[in-house]
Structure 1
Amino acid sequence: DICVVDEDAHVVRGRWDVTPAIHLHTELHRLRPDARVVIHNHPYYVSLLAALGMLPELVHQTGSLFLDDMYLLDKYDGEIDAPWRAVELASQIGSANLAILANHGAIITGRNLAEAVYRAASIERVCRLAYDVMLTGRTPSPMNRGDMVGMQASLIERAADVYWAGAARMTIKADRSVLD
């Protein structure tokens, strides 16, 4: 079910109401023209690191996607249920495409749906791997920053579309009615 809202978060079309957290989306869109898609979610490993008040250590090439593109909001004080609160949060996030809210979850942005969904799926894997590496108590092998910069560009340019196409095929295979 899709709900269409106007720029002030009033429902224009759809069967359901929207969460008061919709202001996270509207205000990020206002402040960041590049943030055409905003995803807010609470996946387990992202939430686990959020509970620890930390960003994931980038220990695998997929983490390159988030190189210099993460923000930790270490003082998240509850529901963003008003535009003024969302403006404050969006201002703190700045240009980062990933924000982890302490004791909460994540906000992910993208220029398009494929990019945002790829980031949202990838950050959960990145956080899980970072957490599992932490549990070993060992220091991970360092990655070369230059390699990470190149990988980041490649992941944004190519992997997002490949991931999106695969996810669409799996969804259609599971339920052809999504095409109706």
Structure 2
Amino acid sequence: MLKTEHLNKAMFEKFAPRRGERALLPDLTPKAEVALMCRMLFAEGWNDHIAGHITVRQPDGSILTNPWELTWDEVTASDIITLDQHGNILDSHWNTTPAIGLHLQLHDARPDVNVVVHNHPKWSGIWANLQETPPIYDQAGAYCGSELPNYNEYLGTFENKTTSMTAVDALGDAKWALLAHHGALVVGRDLRQAHLRAATLEWRCRRAYEVRLAGGAEPLAEEVIAQIGLPDANGFPFLWEAMARRELRRDPTVLS
């Protein structure tokens, strides 16, 4: 019998959608994809009122982002803002938070990063406030590996460019981080990858806190995490599409 690790790799090589594909969905504009991502992550717990931003770098260097004034569960495609690489608004009457600088610095520092997600989710926010790294107790929490930096030099809000640059430096080449007394940060090559990471992080943090409240348990060993983790360059096969369809069923006007 194949080992779990080999089975996972074989499965994902066979079924993982290639970059840019959106099987099982109608044709979506880039702005519609960002609006759907906002709705999808809101449902995953990235839902602190009007806090947080998602930025998505486009092939021409411009950046798409959600507006400051709207909650993530009400954003539609037409609300998505186009920015130049310096953060200047090109096509919208909406505004962006001054904290957008953190995203711009990350895009500039990390050519591999086309998507940056920041918010103050409930469960990862708990571990950020504890300044601890949550253990992994189940398969869904292990999808993206165990390494999780904890950035604990909170110097103020992220409209301060010096503060946000220290966060960029602290992140290094990591895929995500907990921001002490603040929230969570996830980066990715594309929306599919970033979605899996954001959903996995919140699931991992929730399960770890529930296990702690229940009295604790033995977390998964690193070798087990390595076996059951996903090669998440393409995310989880069909997950992005399934969650997008759920949001389209809830509110088809997200595409408007």
- 1 or 2, which has the higher helix percentage? 1
Match of 1:62 in 2: 140
CA distance in 1, matches of 2:109, 2:143: 22
Identity %: 33
TM, length-normalised to structure 2: 0.64
After superposition, the Cα gap between the structure-2 partners of 1:20 and 1:56, relative to the gap in structure 1 and judged at 3 Å, is same
Match of 1:101 in 2: 179
After superposition, the Cα gap between the structure-2 partners of 1:13 and 1:161, relative to the gap in structure 1 and judged at 3 Å, is farther
Tell whether 2:205 aligns with 1:122. Answer: no
- Matched residue type, 2:189: R
After TM superposition, list the pairs within 5 Å mapping 1:13-32 onto structure 2.
13-32=91-110
Match of 1:167 in 2: 243
CA distance in 2, matches of 1:50, 1:100: 5
CA distance in 2, matches of 1:25, 1:157: 21
Tell whether 2:145 aligns with 1:74. Answer: no
Q: Secondary structure at the match of 2:150?
A: strand
Q: Secondary structure at the match of 1:29?
A: helix
CA shift at 1:85, angstroms? 2.8
CA distance in 2, matches of 1:151, 1:128: 19
Tell whether 2:238 aligns with 1:178. Answer: no
Q: Secondary structure at the match of 2:149?
A: strand
CA distance in 2, matches of 1:48, 1:146: 27
Match of 1:150 in 2: 227
Unmatched 5+ stretches in structure 2: 1-78
TM, length-normalised to structure 1: 0.89
CA shift at 1:138, angstroms? 2.8
Unmatched 5+ stretches in structure 1: none
Q: Secondary structure at the match of 1:16?
A: coil
CA distance in 1, matches of 2:93, 2:200: 31
- Matched residue type, 1:100: L
CA distance in 2, matches of 1:18, 1:119: 24
| Matched positions, count | 178
CA distance in 2, matches of 1:144, 1:128: 19
Q: CA RMSD in A?
A: 1.8
Native 8 Å contact 1:50 1:105 kept in 2: yes
